[in-house]
Amino acid sequence: MGSPLLPGISQAAPRASGGGPKRVIFFMQNQGFDPATCVPAGMKSSGSLAKVKLPEPIQALEPFKERLHIINGLHGLHTSPSHSAFFGALGGYRGSDGVPPSGPTIDYELSKVLPETLLPHLCIGMDSMENMKAKPTVANLSASGPGQPIFMHSNPNHLYQMLYGGISEGDIRRQHEARSSLFDRIEQLAAARGASLPAADRQRYGQYVEGFQDINGLRTRLNGVAGHLRKFAPKVDDRYTNPEFETDWHDVLLDLGISALKSGITSVLTLGSGRGEIFGSWKGLGVEEQGHNLGHMKQPDNPIWIKIRQYNSRMLVKLMEELESVPEGSGTMMDNTLIVYTSNNADAQHTSGANWPVMLLGNCGGAFRTGCFTQLDGKRPINALYSSILTASGIQCDRFNMSEKMAAKFDSGSGPLREVLV
């Protein structure tokens, strides 16, 4: 069965009840997600959000409460978060600074089971301008398997070239062609020289060759649907080439992520604000403090964190409104989408991971409960939420990245969270 957006691309998973392909977006904010910044005042137990007022940091979501599910009381004790859980935040396993991923993360697993797309999984990282320029790609959050990190794109000019360079003109087109020619040559040289290496080195070298094959293969596939992509390519303006603040790049990176979803290039998008680390900057919001110091500030009633969380909330609103604007099946793209908003560091920068607040937006084709707050008892791990998302995507999953031995210590139940699924 072909995709309605990209004819000839096969579908690898069931479609949502509204008739469109499912998609999932992960938005990870660093430095922790204090529950007081999202749980309505006075709500101590599970209930409807209909008659309560959302806290100031997420006030932008007030008109979308019927699509919101706030969850408090999951845990990630087993991820040893400290300054960040890094790959463990989406992997549900131990993760720390310098520790390689021990397995695939939930976003990558979803990219294998959701409807097949040209770019199964797109990762975008937002940081300070200095970091994004010095390290335009970095891997801290997503992985395809043990020791196999997935890079986040942080320079919007590079990402634009990758997605839309083949349909652009002028300098962007010339840079795209030059880069493509270089990657072709590197792939050829790497393949030729790798063949003469010892077996152990050849296997490691082969991963680099595969990386360039993936890049070159994606370029060819995108060129094949150039006419379709022209409808969705964002307009390049001064924010790309002459940004005043890092938030200019954050904004256009979000635009590129949205365009990739709307065009059907991808069905899984991971956004890392702070790129899974303790860094990050929001000078464009009038926040002069940045990086590690932000994590040492209490978030509730803090004007600095209110600004950052409100900025996140506006991004979430933009995601929903943009997807709502595209008809799909008997509804819209948003009807078939789930947005997962949380932190790669549970509730605070220095934390045990005993509480890991999460907000869900959308119901992914009617699979998830919305318009409510759920208070859990702290005995089920974030892995259980990931099992729920896989189950809603058509893959029965009792445990995600958790052995029976680990589950005996860290999970009071098994299977999906009954509190979140319809």
Q: Is residue 339 part of a domain?
A: no
Is residue 14 predicted with pLDDT exceeding 90?
A: no
Residues facing 359 on adjacent strands: 70, 341
Distance, CA of 269 to CA of 338 (rounded, Å): 11
- 114-159 pLDDT tens trace: 988 988 899 999 999 999 999 999 999 999 999 999 999 999 999 9
Measured CA to CA in angstroms, residue 24 lies from 122, 240, 361, 417 at distances of: 11, 26, 10, 17
| Same domain as 280, residue 153 | yes
Q: Is residue 193 part of a domain?
A: yes
Residue 190, φ and ψ in degrees, nearest 5: -65, -40
User: Residue 346 corresponds to which amino acid?
Assistant: A
- 211-235 pLDDT tens trace: 445 655 676 777 778 788 889 999 9
| Same domain as 394, residue 247 | no
Q: Is residue 313 part of a domain?
A: no
| Same domain as 286, residue 158 | yes
| Same domain as 281, residue 400 | no
In this prediction, residue 182 carries a pLDDT of 45
Q: Is residue 32 part of a domain?
A: no
DSSP annotation string for 34-87 = -GGGTSPTT--S-EESTTSPPPGGGGGGGGGGGGEEEEEEEE-GGG--BT--TT
| Same domain as 162, residue 284 | yes
Mean pLDDT (whole number) for 73-83: 94
| Same domain as 283, residue 396 | no
pLDDT band at 181 (very low <50, low <70, confident <90, very high): low
Would you say 50 and 318 are in contact if contact means Cβ atoms under 8 Å apart? no
Measured CA to CA in angstroms, residue 60 lies from 7, 121, 163, 303, 363 at distances of: 37, 28, 30, 16, 19
Q: Is residue 151 part of a domain?
A: yes
| Same domain as 280, residue 144 | yes
DSSP annotation string for 257-290 = HHHHHHHTS-SEEEEEETTTTT----GGGT----
Residue 242 exposed, middle or buried by CB count within 10 Å (0-12, 13-18, 19+)? exposed
pLDDT band at 175 (very low <50, low <70, confident <90, very high): low
Mean pLDDT (whole number) for 360-371: 97
Mean pLDDT (whole number) for 71-98: 95
9-13, 67-71, 322-326, 411-415: range with lowest mean pLDDT: 9-13
| Same domain as 413, residue 285 | no
Is residue 18 predicted with pLDDT exceeding 90?
A: no
Q: Is residue 138 part of a domain?
A: yes
Distance, CA of 290 to CA of 282 (rounded, Å): 7
Q: What does the mean pLDDT of the chain come to?
A: 88
Distance, CA of 134 to CA of 415 (rounded, Å): 42
Q: Is residue 115 part of a domain?
A: no
Q: Is residue 78 part of a domain?
A: no
The number of domains in the chain is 2
Is residue 170 predicted with pLDDT exceeding 90?
A: no
Supply the range of the domain harboring residue 398: 383-422
User: Residue 269 corresponds to which amino acid?
Assistant: L
In this prediction, residue 212 carries a pLDDT of 46
| Same domain as 286, residue 173 | yes
